[in-house]
Structure 1
């Protein structure tokens, strides 16, 4: 199975505890599905066939420190922040990351919370238009005008955007890692990805909708697909615009209310004034 390279940034503090680092690396190396785990340039680089969420859980639980995924893949990558967009009476949130592998396949890796337990369809849609929430993202991405199908179907018998199903546990969380041989990262940047209310039947059902969308129902959450950083391509630790540190950023909206609540790190980062010009002290 194809492996992904992950750059995991860990909040070790001002002084690295070598014992904690060694314990974390040894735990990672002991796991099936992890091919390599090394400390490099201030981060842990992991080569693995496991979902990134599982890697972050291992690092967090073993080290007792906060951890974030700073880079995904060593080739062209993309990311989508999934949310219910206030469209569906639900509170679904998550992230899907895409990596184009040197072998030609695409890896879709993600974690989505707030789903009803069970399986849900995951599809790339034509456009990245959220002006009407998930209602304005268009149909499934389907450049060959094919009928709806399963991810393993021939290219002319499935939509390019048909990624199959992801399954949520009893808590409503779906953690997944999909390898697809049709989609390419450069074809989906600027489009959108959505998760649906029901399981995708892969076009094998008896209803008219089966050949259209797998009778999977309406999207319950969606997000625009944007370029993202690969391993060691993103040096950011603090957002220069508002001082939010990388550790807190993953739990906050990208903008608006709730973004700029003070943290310990931000309170220590005051603005300096020189010749009536205000300079932020936070570094990128």
Structure 2
């Protein structure tokens, strides 16, 4: 059973009617326990067991954008941007994995993909974070606990992602993993689960797992390095294929 966790989103809010509209849309989702709006800072905090990607879709259904600002507690959240290493693909970003640790031995994984060919894909955590040759240089599947016969798959096996005819797919699952164990490793999404990866395969995705902000840890409105607002950054990310 998934334990409730908290996520915070930046949402354009101008009045109490905006808050009511967003809250009504969110409470239509099964698994939402609490919605806490902050009109002054234009933030929405959500507590429950719903995938962050589903929360974003519910907010977008009201005609507003939403940016995930944090999940879980400090040091308990991670993110992985999935890209193809094929030189034939101009828009390389194809997916995003959000991870939040909700207990000492449980992490939730929210993986969303857009732009792949239809079919079944394997999502796995790899031994290393070396993506210099795409998926081919990431090593084998990470198995912090070696599975025995009749036991669940290795913790490095996130599961199978079904990509629709429209090129979209997602999984929301939990694994007995701690965030710190995965930082610096990589995630591979591919039709092949073995180590025979082709760098020029546009349907093989790879990315390095990095820490992300916990709830309330990230309150920036302007990026210090680029000078852009979070909304300007968001627009660029969407144009690149980020979900």
In the superposition, the TM-score normalised over structure 1's length comes to 0.72
Aligned alpha-carbon RMSD (Å): 2.8
1:193 matched to 2:187: yes
The 2-side partners of 1:144 and 1:56 are apart by 34
* Gap runs ≥5 in structure 2: none
- Asked which structure has the greater CA Rg, the reply is 1
1:99–1:107 CA contact under 8 A, matched in 2? yes
Task: Show the 5 A alignment for 1:136-175.
Answer: 136-144=137-145, 146=147, 154=151, 158-175=153-170
2:9–2:68 CA contact under 8 A, matched in 1? yes
In the superposition, the TM-score normalised over structure 2's length comes to 0.83
The 1-side partners of 2:180 and 2:129 are apart by 14
1:196–1:216 CA contact under 8 A, matched in 2? no
Runs of 4 or more, structure 1, over 4 Å off, are 87-92, 144-147, 215-219
User: Which structure is richer in relative contact order (CA contacts within 8 A, separation 6 or more)?
Assistant: 2
Partner of 1:230: 214
2:144–2:156 CA contact under 8 A, matched in 1? no
The 2-side partners of 1:184 and 1:36 are apart by 25
Residues 251-282 of structure 1 show CA distances to partners (whole Å, capped at 9, x for unaligned) of 536xxxx99xxxxxxxxxxxxxxxxxxxxxxx
* Gap runs ≥5 in structure 1: 201-212, 260-284
**Cα distance change on mapping 1:125 and 1:6 into 2, 3 Å:** same
Task: Show the 5 A alignment for 1:61-80.
Answer: 61-62=61-62, 64-74=63-73, 76-80=76-80
The 2-side partners of 1:36 and 1:22 are apart by 13
Compute the displacement of 1:144 (Å): 4.6
Task: Show the 5 A alignment for 1:212-227.
Answer: 213=194, 220-227=204-211
The 1-side partners of 2:27 and 2:71 are apart by 19
